[in-house]
Chains A and B, each alone.
Chain A
């Protein structure tokens, strides 16, 4: 059974760095073609893709946020970590991790999602 679970702070102060962890069960981050993404969804809005990390440690970022984002993985713990620096109230959102698939037609989609974690940025 595949499960993804996000963890991290519920409240972050403006200008601080947000660090989120996604723990995978039932999937190994070292498996060839294993890819994981972080997305976020502000209240009442659509999801937004943030970053992706692949089994071979390739990393990809949302171009509008790349200077503030960093994605990494700890294969010993089967975890993917996201940091978002210099947070602002506009970063208030539910943050999700998701397994990312790229199929033979180069289609990019998310087939397993974590439950999400609501992060509020406020002083």
Chain B
């Protein structure tokens, strides 16, 4: 059982916007920055957002991150089919003394 809670799935039509949430606790999101990764089937995760809000190299500005208290969110506007995949939030956890991953949210573009 993960220390972080993400919805198992999310979906939206092309062009729409969606938000993926990640809920944690003071020992992880409450105290540390949040990073987001996307994973396509059969491939390695790729960094999407780091430091809560910074887009990784090559990530379009349709992707944005935010954090408030012990929760974080990844927003994607103008959904495209290429945005599909599993999205994981991953902050450092002070109790575990290491990074922790959420269980992941599978995004489907309808």
A interface residues, Cβ below 8 angstroms from B: 45-49, 60, 62-63, 96, 98, 101, 103, 105, 107-111, 113-116
Known A46-B104, A107-B33; contact A113-B44, beta-carbon cutoff 8 A = yes
Q: Is the beta-carbon distance between B35 and A113 smaller than 8 angstroms?
A: no
Q: Is the beta-carbon distance between B44 and A96 smaller than 8 angstroms?
A: yes
Q: List 8 A-B contacts (CB under 8 A).
A: A46-B103, A46-B104, A47-B88, A48-B101, A98-B44, A108-B92, A114-B44, A115-B43
Q: Which residue of B lies closest to A116 (CB)?
A: B44
Q: Which residue of A lies closest to B86 (CB)?
A: A46
- CA–CA, A8 and B43, complex, Å: 18
Known A46-B102, A47-B88, A63-B98; contact A109-B47, beta-carbon cutoff 8 A = yes
Contacting residues, chain A, for B44 (C-beta < 8 A): 96, 98, 113-116
Q: Number of contact residues on B: which range applies?
A: 20 to 34
Closest chain B CB from A34 CB (angstroms)? 17
Q: Is the beta-carbon distance between B45 and A111 smaller than 8 angstroms?
A: no
- CA–CA, A114 and B45, complex, Å: 9
- State whether the Cβ of B46 lies closer than 8 Å to any Cβ in chain A: yes
Q: Is the beta-carbon distance between B101 and A46 smaller than 8 angstroms?
A: yes
- State whether the Cβ of B32 lies closer than 8 Å to any Cβ in chain A: yes
Contacting residues, chain B, for A98 (C-beta < 8 A): 44
Contact partner of A105 (CB less than 8 A), chosen from B51, B96, B97, is B51
Q: Which residue of B lies closest to A113 (CB)?
A: B44
- CA–CA, A19 and B29, complex, Å: 33
- State whether the Cβ of B90 lies closer than 8 Å to any Cβ in chain A: yes
0/1 per residue, B67-110, Cβ < 8 Å to A?
A: 00000000000000000000010101000111111111000000
- CA–CA, A110 and B56, complex, Å: 11
